[in-house]
Amino acid sequence: MLGGIPRLIARLPEAGRSVVWSVPVLRHIAGRIAGRPRLPGAAAGGLRPVVHLPDWCRWDQMRQRPHALASAFARAGHEVFFIDQREPSPRIVDGIRVVPWLSETPRSGVIMMVHYPQLHELFDRYDDAVVLYDIHDDLSIFDPDETDLDPERRVKAHHPVLMDGADVVMASSSVLERRHHAERADIMLIENGVDLDRWSAVTGAVPELPAGPIAGYHGAIADWFDFELVTAVARAMPDWTFLLVGPVLDESAAAAQLGDLGNVMFAGEQSPERVVGFVHGFDVGLIPFRVNEMTEAVSPLKLFEYLAASVPVVATPLPAAFESQATTVAATPDEFVAAIRSADARNPDWRALASEEAAAASWDERLRPVLERLDELGLRQV
Protein backbone atom coordinates (compact mmCIF):
# COMPACT_ATOMS: atom_id res chain seq x y z
CA MET A 1 0.00 0.00 0.00
CA LEU A 2 2.70 2.49 0.95
CA GLY A 3 4.40 2.03 -2.39
CA GLY A 4 1.49 3.70 -4.16
CA ILE A 5 1.13 6.76 -1.93
CA PRO A 6 3.37 9.82 -2.38
CA ARG A 7 5.47 11.01 0.54
CA LEU A 8 3.46 14.23 0.50
CA ILE A 9 -0.19 13.88 -0.47
CA ALA A 10 -0.95 17.36 -1.84
CA ARG A 11 -1.84 20.94 -1.23
CA LEU A 12 -5.41 21.14 -2.32
CA PRO A 13 -7.43 24.35 -2.73
CA GLU A 14 -10.89 24.46 -1.23
CA ALA A 15 -9.89 21.96 1.33
CA GLY A 16 -7.65 23.82 3.66
CA ARG A 17 -6.51 20.29 3.47
CA SER A 18 -2.80 20.75 3.16
CA VAL A 19 -1.94 17.75 5.28
CA VAL A 20 1.64 16.58 5.05
CA TRP A 21 1.72 12.81 5.16
CA SER A 22 5.33 12.01 5.98
CA VAL A 23 6.65 8.46 5.95
CA PRO A 24 6.08 7.97 9.73
CA VAL A 25 2.51 9.22 9.40
CA LEU A 26 1.94 6.90 6.45
CA ARG A 27 3.21 3.97 8.48
CA HIS A 28 0.73 4.86 11.21
CA ILE A 29 -2.05 5.09 8.62
CA ALA A 30 -0.99 1.80 7.08
CA GLY A 31 -1.42 0.17 10.47
CA ARG A 32 -4.93 1.51 10.70
CA ILE A 33 -5.98 0.36 7.24
CA ALA A 34 -4.16 -2.95 7.31
CA GLY A 35 -6.32 -6.03 7.08
CA ARG A 36 -9.78 -6.30 5.64
CA PRO A 37 -13.21 -4.85 6.42
CA ARG A 38 -15.03 -7.14 8.81
CA LEU A 39 -18.54 -5.78 9.32
CA PRO A 40 -21.44 -7.58 7.58
CA GLY A 41 -22.79 -6.05 4.40
CA ALA A 42 -26.34 -4.88 3.76
CA ALA A 43 -29.11 -7.44 3.33
CA ALA A 44 -30.17 -8.35 -0.19
CA GLY A 45 -32.34 -5.59 -1.64
CA GLY A 46 -31.09 -3.00 0.84
CA LEU A 47 -29.29 0.25 0.00
CA ARG A 48 -25.55 -0.17 -0.29
CA PRO A 49 -23.51 1.40 2.53
CA VAL A 50 -21.22 4.22 1.40
CA VAL A 51 -17.55 4.16 2.45
CA HIS A 52 -15.44 7.29 2.09
CA LEU A 53 -11.95 5.86 1.72
CA PRO A 54 -9.17 7.47 3.77
CA ASP A 55 -7.42 10.58 2.48
CA TRP A 56 -6.41 13.97 3.95
CA CYS A 57 -9.91 14.84 5.23
CA ARG A 58 -10.62 14.93 8.94
CA TRP A 59 -14.24 14.84 10.00
CA ASP A 60 -13.96 17.62 12.59
CA GLN A 61 -11.85 19.99 10.52
CA MET A 62 -12.74 22.19 7.56
CA ARG A 63 -15.86 20.77 5.95
CA GLN A 64 -15.34 20.11 2.28
CA ARG A 65 -16.89 18.24 -0.62
CA PRO A 66 -16.27 14.71 0.77
CA HIS A 67 -17.99 15.62 4.03
CA ALA A 68 -20.95 17.12 2.20
CA LEU A 69 -21.39 14.18 -0.16
CA ALA A 70 -21.20 11.75 2.75
CA SER A 71 -23.92 13.67 4.59
CA ALA A 72 -26.10 13.85 1.49
CA PHE A 73 -25.83 10.08 1.01
CA ALA A 74 -26.86 9.62 4.65
CA ARG A 75 -29.91 11.85 4.18
CA ALA A 76 -30.79 9.77 1.13
CA GLY A 77 -31.04 6.69 3.34
CA HIS A 78 -27.59 5.12 2.98
CA GLU A 79 -25.49 4.02 5.92
CA VAL A 80 -22.26 6.01 5.60
CA PHE A 81 -18.77 5.22 6.90
CA PHE A 82 -16.21 8.04 6.84
CA ILE A 83 -12.69 6.75 7.42
CA ASP A 84 -10.57 9.27 9.34
CA GLN A 85 -7.36 7.54 10.41
CA ARG A 86 -6.66 10.14 13.08
CA GLU A 87 -9.83 9.37 15.06
CA PRO A 88 -9.08 7.57 18.35
CA SER A 89 -12.10 5.25 18.07
CA PRO A 90 -15.32 4.77 16.07
CA ARG A 91 -18.20 7.14 16.75
CA ILE A 92 -21.44 8.32 15.17
CA VAL A 93 -21.72 12.02 14.31
CA ASP A 94 -24.78 13.50 12.59
CA GLY A 95 -25.76 10.07 11.32
CA ILE A 96 -22.26 9.35 9.90
CA ARG A 97 -20.13 6.51 11.23
CA VAL A 98 -16.72 8.11 11.63
CA VAL A 99 -14.19 5.29 11.96
CA PRO A 100 -10.39 5.11 12.11
CA TRP A 101 -9.97 1.63 10.69
CA LEU A 102 -10.87 -0.13 7.47
CA SER A 103 -11.94 -3.06 9.64
CA GLU A 104 -14.86 -0.96 10.94
CA THR A 105 -16.54 -0.89 7.51
CA PRO A 106 -18.74 -3.49 5.75
CA ARG A 107 -16.83 -6.13 3.84
CA SER A 108 -19.24 -6.44 0.90
CA GLY A 109 -21.81 -4.58 -1.15
CA VAL A 110 -20.50 -1.07 -0.49
CA ILE A 111 -20.23 2.07 -2.60
CA MET A 112 -16.61 3.23 -2.32
CA MET A 113 -16.27 7.00 -2.67
CA VAL A 114 -12.72 7.90 -3.66
CA HIS A 115 -10.86 11.00 -4.83
CA TYR A 116 -7.23 10.00 -4.44
CA PRO A 117 -6.41 7.56 -7.31
CA GLN A 118 -3.79 5.49 -5.47
CA LEU A 119 -6.51 4.22 -3.17
CA HIS A 120 -7.60 1.76 -5.86
CA GLU A 121 -5.07 -0.51 -4.17
CA LEU A 122 -7.65 -0.95 -1.39
CA PHE A 123 -10.44 -2.07 -3.68
CA ASP A 124 -9.62 -5.78 -3.55
CA ARG A 125 -10.29 -5.77 0.18
CA TYR A 126 -14.01 -5.40 -0.53
CA ASP A 127 -16.38 -7.84 -2.23
CA ASP A 128 -19.04 -6.76 -4.74
CA ALA A 129 -18.13 -3.09 -4.39
CA VAL A 130 -19.30 -0.14 -6.51
CA VAL A 131 -16.65 2.50 -7.20
CA LEU A 132 -17.57 6.19 -7.28
CA TYR A 133 -14.58 8.24 -8.48
CA ASP A 134 -14.91 11.92 -7.64
CA ILE A 135 -12.56 14.29 -9.48
CA HIS A 136 -12.75 17.58 -7.66
CA ASP A 137 -9.32 19.03 -8.41
CA ASP A 138 -7.16 19.30 -11.49
CA LEU A 139 -4.58 16.51 -11.38
CA SER A 140 -1.77 19.05 -11.68
CA ILE A 141 -2.40 19.99 -8.08
CA PHE A 142 -0.51 16.88 -6.99
CA ASP A 143 2.61 17.73 -9.03
CA PRO A 144 4.56 19.85 -6.50
CA ASP A 145 4.61 17.06 -3.95
CA GLU A 146 5.48 14.26 -6.38
CA THR A 147 8.70 15.57 -7.85
CA ASP A 148 10.79 12.95 -6.04
CA LEU A 149 8.56 10.01 -6.99
CA ASP A 150 9.02 7.62 -9.87
CA PRO A 151 6.48 8.33 -12.65
CA GLU A 152 4.64 5.06 -12.06
CA ARG A 153 3.91 6.05 -8.45
CA ARG A 154 2.39 9.44 -9.26
CA VAL A 155 -1.28 10.32 -9.30
CA LYS A 156 -1.41 10.68 -13.07
CA ALA A 157 -0.20 7.07 -13.45
CA HIS A 158 -2.99 5.73 -11.22
CA HIS A 159 -5.75 7.99 -12.51
CA PRO A 160 -6.43 5.88 -15.67
CA VAL A 161 -7.19 2.85 -13.49
CA LEU A 162 -10.06 4.75 -11.90
CA MET A 163 -11.26 6.21 -15.20
CA ASP A 164 -11.40 2.73 -16.73
CA GLY A 165 -12.73 0.79 -13.77
CA ALA A 166 -15.01 3.10 -11.78
CA ASP A 167 -18.73 2.49 -12.08
CA VAL A 168 -19.50 6.22 -11.85
CA VAL A 169 -17.12 9.13 -12.44
CA MET A 170 -17.96 12.65 -11.28
CA ALA A 171 -16.31 16.02 -11.92
CA SER A 172 -16.88 19.02 -9.69
CA SER A 173 -16.69 21.69 -12.40
CA SER A 174 -17.50 22.13 -16.06
CA VAL A 175 -13.80 22.70 -16.72
CA LEU A 176 -12.88 19.32 -15.23
CA GLU A 177 -15.74 17.64 -17.05
CA ARG A 178 -14.44 18.95 -20.39
CA ARG A 179 -10.85 18.01 -19.60
CA HIS A 180 -11.74 14.40 -18.79
CA HIS A 181 -14.61 13.79 -21.20
CA ALA A 182 -12.38 12.12 -23.78
CA GLU A 183 -11.31 9.57 -21.15
CA ARG A 184 -14.83 8.85 -19.97
CA ALA A 185 -17.80 9.92 -22.10
CA ASP A 186 -20.30 9.25 -19.31
CA ILE A 187 -18.54 11.50 -16.77
CA MET A 188 -21.07 13.38 -14.64
CA LEU A 189 -20.89 17.08 -13.81
CA ILE A 190 -21.71 17.26 -10.10
CA GLU A 191 -20.80 20.75 -8.99
CA ASN A 192 -20.09 21.77 -5.45
CA GLY A 193 -23.00 22.80 -3.29
CA VAL A 194 -24.04 24.04 0.11
CA ASP A 195 -25.72 22.84 3.27
CA LEU A 196 -28.55 25.36 3.28
CA ASP A 197 -29.73 24.69 6.82
CA ARG A 198 -26.26 25.19 8.21
CA TRP A 199 -25.20 28.26 6.24
CA SER A 200 -28.47 30.17 6.06
CA ALA A 201 -29.18 29.93 9.78
CA VAL A 202 -28.62 33.19 11.64
CA THR A 203 -25.93 32.53 14.22
CA GLY A 204 -24.49 34.66 16.98
CA ALA A 205 -21.49 36.73 16.00
CA VAL A 206 -18.16 35.42 17.21
CA PRO A 207 -16.45 37.76 19.69
CA GLU A 208 -13.36 38.17 17.49
CA LEU A 209 -15.28 40.17 14.86
CA PRO A 210 -13.87 43.69 14.62
CA ALA A 211 -15.97 46.83 14.46
CA GLY A 212 -16.64 48.42 11.09
CA PRO A 213 -17.06 46.90 7.62
CA ILE A 214 -15.46 43.52 7.01
CA ALA A 215 -14.25 41.95 3.78
CA GLY A 216 -13.77 38.32 4.71
CA TYR A 217 -12.38 35.06 3.41
CA HIS A 218 -12.62 31.56 4.79
CA GLY A 219 -10.59 28.59 3.67
CA ALA A 220 -6.96 27.62 3.26
CA ILE A 221 -4.56 30.51 2.74
CA ALA A 222 -1.98 28.96 0.46
CA ASP A 223 -0.16 29.51 -2.82
CA TRP A 224 -3.40 29.75 -4.81
CA PHE A 225 -4.35 32.80 -2.71
CA ASP A 226 -3.46 36.06 -4.48
CA PHE A 227 -1.54 37.80 -1.69
CA GLU A 228 -0.42 40.68 -3.89
CA LEU A 229 -3.99 41.44 -4.95
CA VAL A 230 -5.39 41.40 -1.41
CA THR A 231 -2.44 43.47 -0.14
CA ALA A 232 -3.12 46.17 -2.74
CA VAL A 233 -6.84 46.18 -2.00
CA ALA A 234 -6.36 46.32 1.77
CA ARG A 235 -3.94 49.24 1.42
CA ALA A 236 -6.51 51.10 -0.69
CA MET A 237 -9.28 50.49 1.89
CA PRO A 238 -7.88 51.38 5.33
CA ASP A 239 -11.42 51.90 6.62
CA TRP A 240 -12.25 48.20 6.07
CA THR A 241 -10.94 45.17 7.94
CA PHE A 242 -9.82 42.19 5.86
CA LEU A 243 -10.53 39.13 8.00
CA LEU A 244 -8.99 35.84 6.85
CA VAL A 245 -10.32 32.70 8.52
CA GLY A 246 -8.34 29.52 7.92
CA PRO A 247 -4.90 27.95 8.19
CA VAL A 248 -2.00 29.87 6.66
CA LEU A 249 -0.05 27.39 4.56
CA ASP A 250 2.19 29.80 2.68
CA GLU A 251 5.39 31.23 4.14
CA SER A 252 6.28 33.46 1.21
CA ALA A 253 7.35 37.08 1.50
CA ALA A 254 4.05 38.11 -0.10
CA ALA A 255 2.11 36.35 2.65
CA ALA A 256 4.24 38.02 5.33
CA GLN A 257 3.76 41.41 3.70
CA LEU A 258 -0.02 41.00 3.80
CA GLY A 259 0.14 40.06 7.47
CA ASP A 260 2.03 43.27 8.27
CA LEU A 261 -0.93 45.47 7.31
CA GLY A 262 -2.81 46.95 10.25
CA ASN A 263 -6.26 46.32 8.77
CA VAL A 264 -5.65 42.64 7.97
CA MET A 265 -6.58 40.04 10.59
CA PHE A 266 -5.78 36.32 10.52
CA ALA A 267 -8.22 34.30 12.62
CA GLY A 268 -6.52 30.96 11.99
CA GLU A 269 -8.28 27.65 11.49
CA GLN A 270 -11.63 27.46 13.25
CA SER A 271 -14.15 24.72 13.95
CA PRO A 272 -16.79 24.24 11.24
CA GLU A 273 -19.43 25.72 13.55
CA ARG A 274 -17.44 28.87 14.28
CA VAL A 275 -16.62 29.41 10.61
CA VAL A 276 -20.34 29.94 9.96
CA GLY A 277 -20.42 32.59 12.69
CA PHE A 278 -17.46 34.40 11.15
CA VAL A 279 -19.00 34.38 7.68
CA HIS A 280 -22.28 35.80 8.96
CA GLY A 281 -20.23 38.75 10.22
CA PHE A 282 -18.76 39.50 6.78
CA ASP A 283 -20.09 42.43 4.78
CA VAL A 284 -18.45 40.99 1.65
CA GLY A 285 -17.05 37.51 0.99
CA LEU A 286 -13.86 37.28 -1.05
CA ILE A 287 -12.54 34.59 -3.38
CA PRO A 288 -9.13 36.05 -4.34
CA PHE A 289 -7.62 33.05 -6.12
CA ARG A 290 -4.83 33.34 -8.64
CA VAL A 291 -6.15 32.31 -12.05
CA ASN A 292 -4.18 29.41 -13.52
CA GLU A 293 -4.71 25.90 -14.84
CA MET A 294 -5.27 24.54 -11.36
CA THR A 295 -7.70 27.14 -10.04
CA GLU A 296 -9.65 27.39 -13.28
CA ALA A 297 -10.97 23.91 -12.49
CA VAL A 298 -12.08 24.85 -8.98
CA SER A 299 -15.75 25.08 -8.03
CA PRO A 300 -15.38 27.10 -4.80
CA LEU A 301 -17.51 25.79 -1.98
CA LYS A 302 -17.26 29.16 -0.30
CA LEU A 303 -19.07 30.84 -3.18
CA PHE A 304 -22.29 28.96 -2.41
CA GLU A 305 -21.71 29.28 1.33
CA TYR A 306 -21.40 33.06 1.10
CA LEU A 307 -24.58 33.24 -0.96
CA ALA A 308 -26.51 31.01 1.44
CA ALA A 309 -25.40 33.32 4.27
CA SER A 310 -26.59 36.37 2.25
CA VAL A 311 -23.04 37.70 1.95
CA PRO A 312 -22.20 39.42 -1.38
CA VAL A 313 -19.33 37.75 -3.23
CA VAL A 314 -16.39 39.31 -5.06
CA ALA A 315 -14.13 36.87 -6.91
CA THR A 316 -11.25 36.83 -9.36
CA PRO A 317 -12.07 35.73 -12.95
CA LEU A 318 -12.57 32.03 -12.29
CA PRO A 319 -14.91 30.17 -14.65
CA ALA A 320 -17.11 29.20 -11.69
CA ALA A 321 -17.46 32.86 -10.69
CA PHE A 322 -18.66 33.81 -14.17
CA GLU A 323 -21.33 31.10 -13.91
CA SER A 324 -22.88 32.81 -10.86
CA GLN A 325 -25.07 35.81 -11.62
CA ALA A 326 -25.02 36.76 -7.94
CA THR A 327 -21.20 37.02 -7.88
CA THR A 328 -19.20 40.09 -8.90
CA VAL A 329 -16.04 39.27 -10.86
CA ALA A 330 -13.08 41.62 -10.46
CA ALA A 331 -9.60 41.20 -11.92
CA THR A 332 -7.59 44.18 -10.70
CA PRO A 333 -7.14 45.88 -7.33
CA ASP A 334 -9.17 48.88 -8.51
CA GLU A 335 -12.00 46.61 -9.66
CA PHE A 336 -11.92 44.76 -6.33
CA VAL A 337 -12.09 48.02 -4.37
CA ALA A 338 -15.03 49.26 -6.43
CA ALA A 339 -16.86 45.91 -6.16
CA ILE A 340 -16.40 45.71 -2.39
CA ARG A 341 -17.57 49.26 -1.81
CA SER A 342 -20.64 48.85 -4.03
CA ALA A 343 -21.74 45.49 -2.58
CA ASP A 344 -25.00 45.74 -0.65
CA ALA A 345 -26.54 42.70 1.00
CA ARG A 346 -29.71 44.69 1.63
CA ASN A 347 -30.50 44.97 -2.10
CA PRO A 348 -33.71 42.90 -2.46
CA ASP A 349 -32.95 41.93 -6.07
CA TRP A 350 -29.51 40.63 -5.11
CA ARG A 351 -30.86 38.80 -2.07
CA ALA A 352 -33.50 37.05 -4.19
CA LEU A 353 -30.89 36.01 -6.77
CA ALA A 354 -28.46 34.82 -4.09
CA SER A 355 -31.18 32.81 -2.37
CA GLU A 356 -32.21 31.23 -5.68
CA GLU A 357 -28.65 30.22 -6.57
CA ALA A 358 -27.97 28.84 -3.11
CA ALA A 359 -31.18 26.79 -3.10
CA ALA A 360 -30.35 25.31 -6.52
CA ALA A 361 -26.93 24.33 -5.16
CA SER A 362 -28.14 22.39 -2.12
CA TRP A 363 -26.17 19.19 -1.66
CA ASP A 364 -29.31 17.08 -1.82
CA GLU A 365 -30.03 18.49 -5.28
CA ARG A 366 -26.40 17.99 -6.32
CA LEU A 367 -26.49 14.32 -5.29
CA ARG A 368 -29.82 13.54 -6.93
CA PRO A 369 -28.35 12.78 -10.43
CA VAL A 370 -25.80 10.44 -8.84
CA LEU A 371 -28.53 8.48 -7.09
CA GLU A 372 -30.47 8.33 -10.34
CA ARG A 373 -27.40 7.05 -12.24
CA LEU A 374 -26.80 4.37 -9.61
CA ASP A 375 -30.46 3.35 -9.85
CA GLU A 376 -30.25 3.20 -13.66
CA LEU A 377 -27.21 0.93 -13.42
CA GLY A 378 -28.88 -1.24 -10.76
CA LEU A 379 -26.04 -0.43 -8.36
CA ARG A 380 -27.67 1.53 -5.56
CA GLN A 381 -29.01 -1.58 -3.87
CA VAL A 382 -27.32 -4.87 -3.05
70 has pLDDT over 70: yes
CA within 13 Å, CB half, 161: 18
pLDDT of the residue at 310 = 96
Binned at pLDDT 50, 70 and 90, residue 294 comes out as: confident
Q: What is the pLDDT of residue 111?
A: 98
Average pLDDT over residues 187-204: 90
pLDDT of 83-109, one tens digit each?
998 899 999 999 999 999 999 999 999
Answer with the residue of higher pLDDT: 204 or 181: 181
Q: Going by DSSP bridges, is the β-strand pair 91-93/96-99 parallel, antiparallel, or unpaired?
A: antiparallel
Please determine, for residue 11, whether its predicted confidence score (pLDDT) is greater than 50.
no
Give the pLDDT score at 36: 85
* Strand positions, DSSP E, 251-312: 264-268, 284-287
What domains, with CATH codes, occur in the chain?
2-192+363-376 (3.40.50), 196-360 (3.40.50.2000)
Task: Please say if the pLDDT value at position 12 is more than 80.
Answer: no
pLDDT band, very low/low/confident/very high, at 10 (cuts 50, 70, 90): very low
Where does the pLDDT of residue 363 fall: very low under 50, low under 70, confident under 90, or very high at 90 and above? very high
Q: Which residue has the higher pLDDT, 187 or 249?
A: 187
* Distance of alpha carbon 177 from alpha carbon 94, whole angstroms: 31
pLDDT of residue 32: 53
Least confident of 38-47, 57-66, 142-151, 238-247: 142-151
Tell me: pLDDT of 24 over 60. no
Residue 193 in contact with residue 277, Cβ under 8 Å? no
Q: Is it the case that residue 283 has pLDDT exceeding 50? A: yes
Question: How far, in Å, are 104, 131, 263, 346 from residue 231 at the CA level?
Answer: 47, 44, 10, 27
Query: At CB < 8 A and 24+ separation, what contacts does 376-381 make?
Result: 377/167, 377/168, 379/48, 379/111, 379/130, 379/167, 379/168, 380/47, 380/48, 380/111, 381/45, 381/46, 381/47, 381/48
Q: pLDDT by residue (tens digit) across 152-168?
A: 888 888 999 999 999 99
User: Would you say residue 23 has pLDDT above 60?
Assistant: no
Q: Which of 19-33, 36-50, 275-289 has the lowest mean pLDDT?
A: 19-33
Measured between alpha carbons, how far is 269 from 51 in angstroms, rounded to an integer? 27
Read off the amino acid at residue 341: R
Is the pLDDT reported for residue 16 higher than 60? no
What is the rounded average pLDDT of the residues 191-214? 89
User: pLDDT at position 139, please?
Assistant: 85
Alpha carbon distance 41, 110 (integer Å): 7
Residue percentage of the chain with pLDDT more than 90: 73
Mean pLDDT, range 350-355, rounded to an integer: 97
Whole-angstrom distance, CA of residue 59 vs CA of residue 279 = 20
Q: pLDDT at position 33, please?
A: 60
Contact of 51 with 114, CB cutoff 8 Å: no
Picking from 124, 119, 145, the residue whose alpha carbon sits closest to that of residue 17 is: 145
Statement: residue 34 has pLDDT above 60: no
pLDDT of residue 146: 78
